Amino acid sequence: MKKKIVVGITGASGTIYGLRLLEALAADPDVETHLVMSPWAKENLAVEATGYTEKEVKALADVVYDDRDLGASIASGSFQHDGMVIVPASMKTVAAIATGLADNLIARAADVTLKERRPLLLVPRESPFNQIHLENMLKLSRMGVEIIPPIPAFYNQPQTIDDLIDHNTMKLLDHLHLKNDYSKRWQGLAAAKQAARREVSHG
């Protein structure tokens, strides 16, 4: 049976993180993806020059919902899934989830995910965080929500922006318990030093 993963993309900067996760899930024949995009997420497709049209993004998912449709299947706890990821997650969405304000489908689906005690992953995109942001994320973390900000790693010798995005995608897939080789993993200090020496000599 396929794993069902719900993906919410909000209007925070970093739409490409959501798109790359959709690409990875679409490439996995054992995954069924359910997608919701906020209105500002759709605007960011053009603003951030992702190269994707809204139609192309929707084609990456198996099922697509309107963010205003609070009668959608994923708005009910009776819809069983294997995890929800909100990537990127705006601070407005984080606040809505933390306070139970299910005023759109992304927030409602997250609220349902929480009450049914299913995995919920948030990829918050804001900098710097103020006290409200931090308190909301701490509150959600204490409820079992996984807070996975897109912080780049450099031990894997990233060469492009794609390398940085792929590393975050790997982390999300790992936390969804989906096997993947989306990015280089830590192989130990000796291997890291050897790779660094190779980069210097080739440079």
Alpha carbon distances (Å) from 61 to 10, 22, 187, 199: 16, 7, 33, 38
- Is 139 flagged in the annotation as binding? no
- Is 93 flagged in the annotation as binding? yes
Helix (DSSP H) and strand (DSSP E) numbers for the chain:
8, 6
DSSP 101: -
76: which residues sit within 8 A by CB, 6+ positions away?
112
- Is 113 flagged in the annotation as binding? no
- Is 125 flagged in the annotation as binding? yes
Residue tagged 């997650």 (tokens): 89
Residue 174 phi, psi dihedral angles, 5° rounding:
-60, -45
- Is 10 flagged in the annotation as binding? no
- Is 90 flagged in the annotation as binding? yes
- Is 171 flagged in the annotation as binding? yes
C-alpha span between 144 and 111 (Å, rounded):
13
* Strand partners of residue 3: 31
- Is 201 flagged in the annotation as binding? no
Phi-psi region of 148 (alpha: psi -120 to 50; beta: other; left: phi over 0): beta
- Is 92 flagged in the annotation as binding? yes
- Is 52 flagged in the annotation as binding? no
- Is 144 flagged in the annotation as binding? no
Residue tagged 């984080």 (tokens): 94
**Numbered residues of the known binding site:** 11-13, 38, 90-93, 125, 155, 171
Q: Which residues are annotated as a binding site for FMN?
A: 11-13, 38, 90-93, 125
Binding residues for dimethylallyl phosphate: 155, 171
